[in-house]
Structure 1
């Protein structure tokens, strides 16, 4: 065992009765429970007496090999309900024994910088902090239900198994601001999962550059950094899912550059960062993003340049301002009429983004809803028209009114039918005079009107008869309207063929 010959001599007679119990139990791996009642809370540990008090230097000596081994037994530190006084300094130590210190109260923060441990379990304990950057743990690190008032430094840690933080409360709870992020896991490597359900962090949870082999679970977690960054997880890499069902985030959730092949499940989460960005997931590659059941997000949502296979977000969840330039997604859920999705595109901070409309239309086509896709394309052209100078909008208005830019072809048929009926009735009541008496064919009000309206069709009626008075003005109107309808219809058909 490393450091064995550097351990100062410690006589067994120097130990208190409480320490003697731990000293004798350690080589056999037996547990010592100092609790007077199973419901004892480590929060009250400052008032525990000498019968529950252990010096940190005694525990350090045990862990570094001061106690003789017992053949056939696995040594280990296993205590409950103890008051640890002094500094437990295990920096750079290599320890092959599991450490289990449940329901303990620590006077000073343990120092585990650069240490190599088998397993570390501190569940339900109260600590002023934990310094364990670049820590190596072979099996598991458990901080479940701990109360830690100072920073937990695990930057660069490597944990072969899992990291458990469920129910823990980390950071100052008295209202003062933390000098540094209370929970630091940046660039940490976790072989399996990070389970942090019901975690409360009074300050920032930092996961920048972390690599997690399994999932990250933050269900029902509370990350409280009003006006700051609640979750800082840039370039986070997760093996499966990031779950944050019913997450409460006061401050920005920053997932820029994250890689999550499974789900980013933010269902029923609450985001609040008024006046700033509430959710930033730009330049991400994520399988499925779930924002189902969320209240309206308070703050900007930034999804620029990200790629999602599926985005599940109800229209009412979008905030007043969004940033979706370059966002791509294959499907959009829940499936709703296009009219309910389009208002969100008006909230883009940069203004009119043609790609955002194309992406929404593509999602509807993927779902097999061609009618909704055409509605989106029509909305795109109308939105584009508003960006043009006033004097150039007339042609667009004509195309929109007549054929809906080619997306409403039946509208042209309606116009033609209405004009045809108007002309046929008018000219049937007052037939025009023939240009050459005795040479003109029999007059037909319907085909005469068609001759006037459709320039590419000729039935010989228009050249044979000449209306007069107000009927002559009616014929001019039919001719001009026919040309407009023919031109706008041709433009719409051409645009449709280009899309195909």
Structure 2
């Protein structure tokens, strides 16, 4: 391309290329689409592929404020110079599919879309503050630096299509997108980010659909989503986040469907608190979390936690505030959930709360039994609280002992062999009836009659029931230890 064929604006860009001098066409004072600010895309392409070079200088396109017409077509091209097209207005979506670039900066530009699948960037890729009315396709790309999407606004041209495609992308640094605003779905499935993913203050909108599809996402450190607002599902199934998934003060909404799906994930810390109640379903099934920082107020009506595993549960809350989480799962009875909560309380040193969780577990299990199983369960619960309230057995024993002692003192049973019988003691006689196996010699020497005989039967039966329930409770305690 001859320089004589260029417009004055294009000539400025052409001359500045060899030395990497910045050109700002806004200094012309013309409107953004005026001829003084118009640069043809094919001129930029010619510069990037065959532009002039000067020894000892680093060639670069550093252009601001241009109105770029036509398609910037760099498909499968190798560009050895820096590309910075900031605050530019593109009338057609650039196509960079399969290209190899040193560095690409499109900050604060306006585009109708961007096709850059399988692009390779040796440095960073900046889309900071961009306004894009169409899809951005970066699937399968490899970025040696960071990917910047801060304050970018992306609106899907067709609601059923994703507005941002990052599937299988590899980012060797951070994915920085605080303040990102999308209207349409984001695909991040299978992506690998060596650093962190920052979505703080982002607004993701795809009502009724998937706002963020990040299945099998592999992150080197953290996923930061403080003050994130999402309309639609966030899907993190199978993600690997060794640091923390920070969802403090987030607003998650997907009425009638799943709002957050983090099943089968492996996460160091999950922070889910200080935000409004989740609208929709929370799915943490089969997740492995080292520290679960969960505020009960954020939990929705439906919580799926089957086979959820966690080591620590914070903040420390009373049992009454944690147990509802275990009954909001669709499963009838999940003993694993109760065991996890019990273990968490024990690690924090609250054995009383741990026993209460185990008692709630037995009561929940009772509802799944047959009628005779439920009946025996009620007996164990009333007698000793399934072994978790041993003092209740002592109270029952004292009460029955007092009743028997008074009754037998008022109506002394006759001796079977008066000459050989020991002196009658109503307290030890009642105790002989109540306590199985142990004998004080009273029961074998005296035979109550009439109503006192029926009372003795009741005491013997009550004693066996009490002993059996105590033994069952002790057995459960020993097995847990």
**Normalising by the residue count of structure 1, what TM-score does the alignment of the two structures yield?**
0.92
* Correspondence list, 1:5-84, <5 A: 10-36=1-27, 45=32, 48-66=33-51, 68-84=52-68
Task: Note the C-alpha offset of 1:496.
Answer: 2.2
Q: Could you tell which deviates more after superposition, 211-220 or 18-27? A: 18-27
Alignment partner of 1:494 is 2:478: no
Tell me, in whole angstroms, the C-alpha distance in 1 between the residues paired with 2:23 and 2:422. 117
Q: Are 2:240 and 2:267, in contact at CA under 8 Å, matched by a contact in 1? A: yes
Pick from 68, 90, 104 the counterpart of residue 88 of structure 2. 104
CA offsets, 1:211-245, max 9 Å, x none?
Answer: 10100000011110101011001111000011111
Tell me, in whole angstroms, the C-alpha distance in 1 between the residues paired with 2:365 and 2:103. 61
CA offsets, 1:423-464, max 9 Å, x none?
Answer: 223333444344444543333222122112112221122233
Tell me, in whole angstroms, the C-alpha distance in 1 between the residues paired with 2:368 and 2:93. 61
Name 2:137's counterpart in structure 1.
153
Alignment partner of 1:303 is 2:269: no
Alignment partner of 1:392 is 2:373: yes
Q: Secondary structure at the match of 1:28?
A: coil
* Correspondence list, 1:339-350, <5 A: 339-350=320-331
Tell me, in whole angstroms, the C-alpha distance in 1 between the residues paired with 2:419 and 2:413. 14
Q: Are 2:223 and 2:244, in contact at CA under 8 Å, matched by a contact in 1? A: yes
* Correspondence list, 1:299-378, <5 A: 299-378=280-359
CA offsets, 1:144-179, max 9 Å, x none?
Answer: 11000010000011000000001000124xxx7435
Q: 1:229 to 1:434 in 2, by over 3 A?
A: same
Task: Note the C-alpha offset of 1:470.
Answer: 3.4
Task: Note the C-alpha offset of 1:304.
Answer: 1.6
Tell me, in whole angstroms, the C-alpha distance in 1 between the residues paired with 2:304 and 2:445. 63
Q: Could you tell which deviates more after superposition, 444-453 or 252-261? A: 444-453
Alignment partner of 1:123 is 2:114: no
* Correspondence list, 1:449-468, <5 A: 449-468=430-449
Tell me, in whole angstroms, the C-alpha distance in 2 between the residues paired with 1:414 and 1:406. 14
Name 1:286's counterpart in structure 2.
267
Alignment partner of 1:276 is 2:257: yes
Tell me, in whole angstroms, the C-alpha distance in 2 between the residues paired with 1:36 and 1:299. 51
Q: Where has structure 1 moved over 4 Å in runs of 4 or more?
A: none
Q: Secondary structure at the match of 1:51?
A: helix
* Correspondence list, 1:436-447, <5 A: 436-437=417-418, 439-447=420-428
Q: Which runs of 5+ in 2 are unaligned?
A: none
Q: 1:409 to 1:179 in 2, by over 3 A?
A: closer
Alignment partner of 1:448 is 2:429: yes
Q: Secondary structure at the match of 1:161?
A: coil
Pick from 168, 172, 175 the counterpart of residue 187 of structure 1. 168
* Correspondence list, 1:196-215, <5 A: 196-215=177-196
Pick from 222, 225, 234 the counterpart of residue 241 of structure 1. 222
Q: Are 2:230 and 2:252, in contact at CA under 8 Å, matched by a contact in 1? A: yes
Pick from 457, 465, 470 the counterpart of residue 484 of structure 1. 465
Q: Which runs of 5+ in 1 are unaligned?
A: 1-9
